[in-house]
Amino acid sequence: MKNTSLTLGLALAVAVSFGNASAQRVPASSLADLSLEQLSNVEVTSVSGRAESLQGAPASIFVITAEDIRRSAAITLPQALRLAPNLQVAQFTSGNYAVSARGFNNTISNKLLVLVDGRTVYSALFSGVFWDATDVMLEDVDRIEVVSGPGGTLWGANAVNGVINVITRTAAATQGALASVTRSDSGGQAVARFGAPLGDSGHYRVYGMALDRPDTERADGALRPDSTSKRQAGFRADWGDAVKEGFTVQGDVYDGGKFPASSLAPRVRGGNLLGRYHAHPAGGGSYRLQAYADMAEREDESGFRNEARTVDLEFTHEPELARGHEVLWGAGHRRTRDSNQPNAQFAFLPADRDLTWTHVFAQYQTELSPALRLTLGGKLEKNIFTGVEFLPNLRLAFKSDAGLTWAAVSRAVRAPARLDRDIFLPSVAPFVVQGGPTFVSEVVRVVEAGQRGFIGRDLNYSITLYRQQYDRLRSGTLSSPPPVMLENRIEGHSTGVEAWALWQAARNWRLSAGVLAQRISLRTKSGLPDPASVVALGNDPRRLWTLRSSWDVGRSEVDLIVRHVGSLPAPAVPAYTAVDVRWGWKAAPALTVSLLAQNLFDRRHVEFTDPAAASQIERRVFLRLAWQL
């Protein structure tokens, strides 16, 4: 991997030597110098499907900015997601994480929708995300919009408890050359990027990254063989502008894991290619057409071999209406060919299956008064397992001198995945566990309300209260004789509060804090006991809180984040508090030197699964050298 990193750096140097003469660097958009008021008006798109200010978005949304990421100790995308106070991020191997919003976190978490530049990255196998296969070059990220709460009307059947929308910068905003090496005593990564003009109205960038992660240890000191390495490369090209007409094409390829592959460090490889065209003709309203293809392969020593090939097409249109009235509508179709080779432990039957999702949606916004806005929308989405699902949404937003007050009611579903319908353990009869042929969508109905605003000029805050009513959650039905059938036999509710604030304590010092308090109550439906499933579904901390500090001292930057995660009930995992620190120094106009410390005051702790066998997440210190022209 060290040789790979060196080769990557040399390749970039050669590319720069040929391309630097013609490249005209366009400064990247930075939020470093924005006031709190300007930060609150950053445009977001994940709530209504159109650009609107963060301050005016009627949802529990937190934005991780490019500056937040740069001024953190994050190395990977899941680590960057720890900056969002409305997410639970738990590491359980060297390269894999469990990520959720509003609870229900586990190693196959399935109620959170994740997008990267409009491309859905969840697996049709279990409706969740393989985080060890999902990497982006953090230096290219413009912002990450984290919406907690359902988003089914816009994003579909898996946006149950939240949406993570990773949005990268345009190619025009990433011109010139960049190289960064981040190393510790064991493990790290190297990234390189080059961007230049393309014709009269276009720009492009290409990038490469290489990373390696060391083995973790158990509590008894034994190594877990979960070390991995990965290589990834990609490009993006943009033509036109963001308003009148523009076209984007981008793609990535990756290959990584362990050789030979293991269940703790599987082999992962794949690639994707996306094209997007948008236009706003005079008098015709704006529209967007997007298409992408995605291929992902995964295998481990247990014989698990999954291959998924996806094509997706989506169209959205926003017609021009009278002032005070806005409509956004669209339609789309996704098709996945999912293939799994059976092994002695389990099988997916049939081994190959074509999965399709087809949707049409419409959302209407109107001003009931100068201060009161109504949003009403719905989506019809069809899947091959349960047919058509209806995903409605109603929101009210009231603007006043105190800020924005909003309330919403909505319905979302988690459509069945292959894990629910097609899995058999073992792979031949007699089966001990079997997918449920009658398994239907899990349902949530949500009521939430929030307030966002300012106290004076120097403190910005957001607070949300919610109650989520669940029905038909996944469980196993005990039968005699076996098998255990997967069915929808759990119901219950969760209540909670999400709050965060940002305070400009001084001209060169910002402080922020966030808290999530939640209570989840689940039960089996009468006559069908399955306490193990109830416990597993509700294995979440009741409290999470974070404190962050960003301080500029001359040419240096000192950044700190303190994260506290409450205890988990079953399996019992103790609460822990982690401190991450970054010190950055502008050594030269093109060179930045940083020291990154993760878990600075904690030698090691467990974040997920049984502590006796789990990975101990250790203290790590990195040196980063970043060069940019």
Q: Beta strand pairing status for 162-168 and 112-116?
A: parallel
Burial class from Cβ neighbours inside 10 Å (0-12, 13-18, 19+) for residue 116 reads: buried
Angle value at C-alpha 120, between 114 and 126, nearest 5 degrees: 75
Q: What is the pTM of this model?
A: 0.93
User: pLDDT at residue 17 above 80?
Assistant: no
Mean pLDDT of 288-307: 92
**Cβ atoms 465, 450 nearer than 8 A:** yes
Read off the amino acid at residue 396.
L
User: pLDDT at residue 286 above 60?
Assistant: yes
Q: Determine which of 6-20, 328-342, 607-621 has the lowest per-residue pLDDT on average.
A: 6-20
Backbone angles phi, psi at 139, to 5 degrees: -65, -20
Q: For residue 258, what pLDDT is reported? A: 84
pLDDT tens per residue across span 19-78: 333 333 333 333 345 677 777 788 999 999 989 999 999 999 999 999 999 999 999 999
CA distances 140 to 137, 149, 187, 191, 416, Å, are 6, 27, 22, 11, 34
Reference 514, options 119, 7, 63, 54; nearest CA is: 63
Q: For residue 8, what pLDDT is reported? A: 37
Q: For residue 571, what pLDDT is reported? A: 85
* Cα-Cα-Cα-Cα dihedral sign, residues 504, 506, 507, 513: negative
CA distances 460 to 156, 402, 466, 603, 629, Å, are 31, 11, 21, 35, 35
Q: Classify residue 17 by its DSSP letter.
A: H
**Cβ atoms 592, 584 nearer than 8 A:** yes
Q: For residue 593, what pLDDT is reported? A: 97
Q: For residue 259, what pLDDT is reported? A: 79
Please report the beta strands in 78-153, taking only residues with DSSP state E, as ranges in sequence order.
88-91, 97-100, 112-116, 119-120, 141-148
Residue entry with tokens 């979960």: 226
Looking up residue 466, the CATH number of its domain turns out to be 2.40.170.20
pLDDT interval class at 529 (50, 70, 90): low
Which residue blocks in 58-115 are alpha helix, DSSP H? 66-70, 77-81
Backbone angles phi, psi at 23, to 5 degrees: -80, 130
CA distances 54 to 50, 78, 153, 460, Å, are 12, 23, 19, 12
Q: Is 169 helix (H, G, I), strand (E, B) or coil?
A: coil
Q: Report the distance separating Cα 168 and Cα 152, nearest Å.
A: 23
Q: For residue 477, what pLDDT is reported? A: 72
Reference 68, options 555, 455, 554, 546; nearest CA is: 546
Q: Report the distance separating Cα 432 and Cα 429, nearest Å.
A: 8
Mean pLDDT of 8-29: 34
Domain that holds residue 259: 2-628
282-300 b/e with 16+ CB inside 10 Å = b?
eeeebbbbbebebebbbbb
Mean pLDDT of 512-528: 87
Mean pLDDT of 195-220: 95
Mean pLDDT of 449-477: 93
Tally Cβ neighbours within 10 Å of residue 168.
23
User: What's the whole-number average pLDDT of the chain?
Assistant: 89
Q: Report the distance separating Cα 398 and Cα 562, nearest Å.
A: 34
Q: Determine which of 12-26, 285-299, 561-575 has the lowest per-residue pLDDT on average.
A: 12-26
Read off the amino acid at residue 487.
E
User: pLDDT at residue 483 above 60?
Assistant: yes
Q: For residue 34, what pLDDT is reported? A: 66
Q: Determine which of 251-255, 297-301, 386-390, 492-496 has the lowest per-residue pLDDT on average.
A: 297-301
Q: For residue 534, what pLDDT is reported? A: 61
Total number of domains in the chain: 1
Q: For residue 528, what pLDDT is reported? A: 58
The answer for 285, left when phi > 0, alpha when psi is -120 to 50, beta otherwise, is left
Mean pLDDT of 339-346: 88
User: In terms of pLDDT, which residue wins out, 321 or 526?
Assistant: 321
- Sheet containing strand 60-65, edge to edge, reads 60-65, 141-148, 162-168, 112-116, 119-120
Q: For residue 387, what pLDDT is reported? A: 96
Reference 205, options 21, 16, 31; nearest CA is: 16
Which residue blocks in 527-574 are alpha helix, DSSP H? 531-537
User: pLDDT at residue 115 above 50?
Assistant: yes
Bridge partner list, 86: none
Q: For residue 480, what pLDDT is reported? A: 63
User: pLDDT at residue 581 above 90?
Assistant: yes
Angle value at C-alpha 486, between 482 and 491, nearest 5 degrees: 125
User: pLDDT at residue 139 above 60?
Assistant: yes
Mean pLDDT of 301-315: 91
User: pLDDT at residue 546 above 90?
Assistant: yes
Mean pLDDT of 66-94: 95
194 token code pair: 């080059």
532 token code pair: 């193990």
Residue entry with tokens 């073992």: 426
Q: For residue 4, what pLDDT is reported? A: 38
Q: For residue 223, what pLDDT is reported? A: 92
